[in-house]
Amino acid sequence: MISTQSISLKVEQNASRIDSYISQKVSDLSRSRIQQLIEQGNVQINGGVCNSKKETVKEGDFIVVEIPPAESLELQAEDIPLDILYEDDQILILNKPAGLVVHPAPGHPNGTLVNAVLAHCPNLPGIGGVQRPGIVHRLDKDTTGAIAIAKTEIAHHSLQGQLKAKTARREYLGVVYGATKEDIGTINLPIGRHPKERKKMAVVPVEKGGREAITHWRIKERLGNYTLMHFQLETGRTHQIRVHSAQINHPIVGDFVYSSGRSVGVNLPGQALHAWKLKLQHPISDEAVEVIAPLPDTLTKLLDVLRKRLSS
C-alpha cells in the first residue's frame, strides 16, 4: 500500500508566493497540483497549515508538503496488449491499433487505451491526485499510430504546454480520394460541432463557435485516383484532418463519417489515417524524443493494391 509522501523544505532566501517557491524546488509537482494541495490543507509553514497559495515565504521558513496517495480511479485495469514505441518513468508512447478507443466514454466504458495503461503501469503516481494516465492528445477510434501518455504530473503539464505552444510535432500519413493539382498546401479553416449532426465536426465560422484549425499537407505519392498524403497538424481539433480533407473534396479513404466510404478493394477497419511520427521534448531532460509508428497491415495492403492497380 502506498503511504503519504512528506517533503520538507527550508527556505534559503526570501521568496514570493509559497506555491511558486514549492514548484521551483519540487519538479515532480505542477503549480496547479501544489495549489490543490494547499487548498486541501496538505501544506504547512512553520508548523501551521498554509491557507493561501499567495502566502509569502521568507528565509528560514520551514515548509512541509504532504502528498497523499493517489485516489483509486473507478476504472478497471485491463490486460490489453500494447505496442510500445518509447517508455521511461515520465512518458509512454504507443502505436495505437485501429478499433481501440482512447478514453472511456458513453458507449465505451471499458476496453480502452486508458484501461490498458492502468494495467501496464500498476504503480502509476497519477495526475491531479487521481491514479490515472495523462491523456494529452487523442486519436480517433479507427485512426492508428503514435500517441503519447504522461505518467506523472510534471510530464502531463509539460506535454500539454508543448501542444499549446505548437512545439510538439505531429505528422500523419493518409490515403485520400482523388488527386490534388498542387503538391503542397495549407488548410486554415475553423472547426466546430456540426450544427445539425452532433456526432460530427464541421467547418464552422469562429463567430458561430468554430475554433482555429490549421493543417499542412503535401503529396507523398500519387496513386492514380488516390493520393498518399503527408499531414502535419499545427492545431489539434477533433477529427481535424478528416474534416479538412473532406472540405477540399479529398476525403480520407474508408471514412464513412465524412465521405461515402466507397470500396477500394481492401477491407479497411475505418479511415486510412495513421499518426506516423511524433516529436516532442522530454519533460525532464529537454532532449528531443522522436518516434515513428510502423504502418498497420491494412494500410500497407491498401497501398500495395493501389500501386499494383496503377502499374497494371
Which cell goes with 73? Answer: 480511479
232-249 per-residue burial string, b: 16 or more CB within 10 A, e: under 16: bbeeebebbbbbbbbbee
**Cα angle 100-102-276, degrees, rounded to a multiple of 5:** 75
Instruction: Indicate which residue of 19, 28, 79, 140 is catalytic.
Output: 140
Residue of 154, 155, 153 lying closest to 93 (CA atoms): 155
Which cell goes with 268? Answer: 479497411
Tell me the three state secondary structure of residue 177.
Answer: strand
Hey, which residues does 171 pair with through a beta bridge? Answer: 232, 277
Q: Is 140 a catalytic residue?
A: yes
Angle, helices 18-25 vs 31-39, to 10°: value is: 130
Greatest extent of the chain over all pairs of C-alpha atoms, in Å:
81
Q: Are the C-beta atoms of 168 and 235 separated by less than 8 Å? A: no
CA distance 171 to 276: 6
Tell me the three state secondary structure of residue 101.
Answer: coil
**How many CA atoms lie within 13 Å of 171's alpha carbon, on the beta-carbon side?**
16
Hey, which residues does 45 pair with through a beta bridge? Answer: 48, 63
Residue of 4, 258, 281 lying closest to 169 (CA atoms): 281
Alpha-helical runs (H) found in 45-122: 113-120
Beta-carbon contacts of residue 306 (< 8 Å; ≥ 6 apart): 175, 223, 224, 226, 264
Task: Tell me the catalytic residues.
Answer: 140
